[in-house]
Amino acid sequence: MFAYSTTTRAAALELMRAGCNDCEIGRRLGVPRTTVRDWRRPPYVRAGILEHCERCWLPMSDVCFASEDYAELLGLYLGDGHISRFARTQRLRLSLDSRYPGIVHDAHALLRRCFPANKAGIVMADRGSTTVLGVYHQHLVCLLPQHAAGKKHERSIALEPWQTALIRQAPWAFIRGCIRSDGCSFVNRTGRYEYLSYAFSNYSPDILGLFVSACESVGLHPRHNARHVRLNRREDVARLVDHVGIKA
């Protein structure tokens, strides 16, 4: 099976939006009409099941991603996730703080929804202070293409167009994944005043930028420096409590 590049498919989708039919798109891009016909179908069908990998376009009917689930998983991965490659499969690990059992429970449920055919494991590490959730799948690097050798903050982190589109559909889910991995909610005390605030910290300027962009897309007012993002406006905090919850 020949796999077309992301650029070719993106060009096909642009021509579709311009009103071109399948035959014309196929002639322009050198792609069979039947392939263009398949691309014209929404990528998420059958109650959220992703039929084809967004990068290699091979069948992948055992993965189930609603846009909100993918956006939250991406936020968790960028903060606390790691992918390991093996000879015949790949493994995703999410290292979460054991002090937040609710977040651990929700993240485990998220993995089970996204990978219904694969077992989502739980392992305790660091003398019980860290809960590591893990799942095996052959397409993890395709689903989370930010994986590469080296630490995330030492290399460029950029989203592919299809990932950006999903975050635009579910920005609050992405924000929630980021906060639940590398963020926190806390009471800020200034003199006799105290008020709830949110923060997100990461060594990667690219990941910080993605978080800030998602916040701004929903009308929040993040304040950020080289490593930290703060959200402490009263109206912003009220919306974060509704959409993200208090990290506890």
Burial class (CB in 10 A: 0-12, 13-18, 19+), 210: buried
Tokens encoding 116: 């219904």
The reported pLDDT for the residue numbered 3 is: 56
Q: How many CA atoms lie within 13 A of 178 on its CB side?
A: 28
The Cα-based distances of 212 to 43, 196, 206, 209 in angstroms read: 27, 19, 10, 5
Residue-level pLDDT at 51: 58
Q: How many residues does the chain have?
A: 248
How many CB atoms lie under 10 A from the CB of residue 211? 27
Parts of the chain with a pLDDT under 70 = 1-6, 17, 40-61, 248
pTM: 0.77
| Amino acid, single-letter form, for residue 115 | F
pLDDT of the residue at 55? 62
Secondary structure of residue 233 in the 3-state scheme? coil
pLDDT (0 to 100) of residue 78: 95
Pick the CATH number of 173-243 from 3.10.28.10, 3.10.20.30, 3.40.630.10, 3.40.50.1360: 3.10.28.10
Task: Report whether 33 contacts 26 (CB < 8 A).
Answer: yes
Burial of residue 48 (CB within 10 Å: 0-12, 13-18, 19+) is middle
